[in-house]
Homo-oligomer: A and B are copies of this chain.
Amino acid sequence: MRLLNSRKRLQVGDGTMDDIDKIRTSVLSRIRPGDAEKQKLHELAHSMIERIDDLGKIEGLDIRARLVGSSARGTWLAGERDLDIFIMFQPDVTREFLEEKGLFVARKIAEKAESCEERYAEHPYISAVFDGFEVDIVPAFGVHSAADIRSAVDRTPFHNNYVLPRIRGFEDEVLLMKQFMKGAGIYGSELKTHGFSGYLVELLVIHCGSFMDVLEAACGWKPGMTIDIEKHASMEHKDPLVVVDPTDPDRNVAASLSLDNLCIFIDRACEFLENPDASYFNVKVPDVLDDDGFRKMMKARGTSLIAIEFRAPDVVEDVLFPQLHKMEESVKEMLERYDFRVYNSAVRADANAVLIFELEASGLPDLKKHAGPQVWSRQHALAFKSKYSDSIAFSNIHIRDGKYMVEIPRKYSNAKKLAVMELSKCSLGKHVGLSIKEGYRILEGDEILKIRDEEFRRFLRRFFEK
């Protein structure tokens, strides 16, 4: 492996560096924000900070506005148009005070927005649209050290402080890295994606030095790797990748990264090094799968498909998706407990949530083999015999491998019927559970074509083709 990697490195260094430069230039010209966008963002940020600070003075509040996140660091991708403005309170105010006054200030500022809504993380904040920019106005405690944070968002300014001086001059590397992650479908640490956060990408660039250096490092990674830039880790983590937060020795910045998304990155890194190509930076949108294409695909595969559809509960994705995945696991476990073999499963949500399960077969024989106790445990034997000797069975009670055995009718020989009858017994999250109680439908095979939504049909194609 070592040798192979070295050879590949040389190849990149000697033979194809020109190619890589060309790819960088072409991709960067697409993803680097233009001067007009930059100026507009800075003006908007400046004016918002001024207005918050002014409002603080008028209201007699000891607050200070700060621009944080990628817009503060010059590492946002062209067109993202996201702004994170923090309202920093003194660290000793009460949580109630911060929530009340913070929301008051944010609302005041948002009065001039094109649209706005209140959102909830650990405490409420305002998300508003100004001039096409989505601006999050977030109250936070301005604690003196990252060790003293009172709310998860309090960490953000420390991240800003750490990254800002170290990333200057490396902004392009971060942009390339982020776009590369986007192309692989693994950018974003939300619980829908389980990918790489912007902060994680910045830390990797700071640690390795450049886009190409990160790829070369990643191509040699194995799950279980730890990166500890400040060499101050104070906790064990069992996550696939551990990147110790330089501002908090207890925290793994990559905690929400899934094993498979890490592996996708490792794989893509190696592939790109061996065969650099601009296509790695393109986000692939699958084609819509039409009725005919669906029928052809199912016929060729020979498998059976079952979908459960219900109204998506009105909660943020970070609440919704863990519940959907919990339901997916629970239904899959139930199907397999009843001998249906699940080849693939996936979830999707917009207004409606859909879970789909691809099965080896949706039907099983009516007959099921049922093993009883060992022959030499007489009390269990008697209980087993009295239970099954008079019931309807396909066979007499007999003996196989030292145990009693009987062939009885299967409770569910059809997967759809199983799902209909037993779905309520599956372990469902709170909001999904309530939504399911209001109603759902279970579709089998061609019935799934009743879902005509284009995004669902793209999702279906990806589900099949991967």
Which stretch, A24-32, A159-167, A264-272, touches the partner chain B? A264-272
* Max chain B C-beta neighbours (<10 A), residue from A222, A259, A365: A365
Within 8 A of B (CB), among A225-273: 259-260, 263-264, 266-267, 270
The one of B4, B270, B361, B395 in contact with A464, judged by C-beta atoms closer than 8 angstroms, is: B395
Are A376 and B303 within 8 A (Cβ)? no
With CB as the reference atom, state the residue of chain B lying closest to A375.
B263
Complex alpha-carbon distance, A260 and B403, angstroms: 8
Given contacts A260-B399, A361-B361, A466-B396, contact A376 B302 (CB under 8 A): no
Closest Cβ of chain B to A233, distance in Å, is 22
Q: Does A219 contact B (CB under 8 A)?
A: yes
Are A4 and B365 within 8 A (Cβ)? no
Q: Does A442 contact B (CB under 8 A)?
A: no
With CB as the reference atom, state the residue of chain B lying closest to A413.
B302
Are B4 and A263 within 8 A (Cβ)? no
With CB as the reference atom, state the residue of chain B lying closest to A394.
B301
Are B464 and A394 within 8 A (Cβ)? yes
Complex alpha-carbon distance, A222 and B377, angstroms: 9
Complex alpha-carbon distance, A37 and B5, angstroms: 90
Contacts of A464 in B (CB 8 A): 394-395
Complex alpha-carbon distance, A364 and B395, angstroms: 26
Are A465 and B395 within 8 A (Cβ)? yes
The one of B301, B367, B379, B400 in contact with A260, judged by C-beta atoms closer than 8 angstroms, is: B400
Q: Does A133 contact B (CB under 8 A)?
A: no
Are A381 and B267 within 8 A (Cβ)? yes
Contacts of A104 in B (CB 8 A): none
Contacts of A108 in B (CB 8 A): none
Q: A259-B402, A270-B378 are in contact. List 16 more A-B contacts (CB 8 A).
A: A4-B378, A5-B378, A219-B378, A263-B399, A266-B375, A267-B399, A300-B367, A301-B365, A301-B366, A301-B367, A301-B407, A303-B365, A303-B367, A360-B365, A361-B364, A395-B466
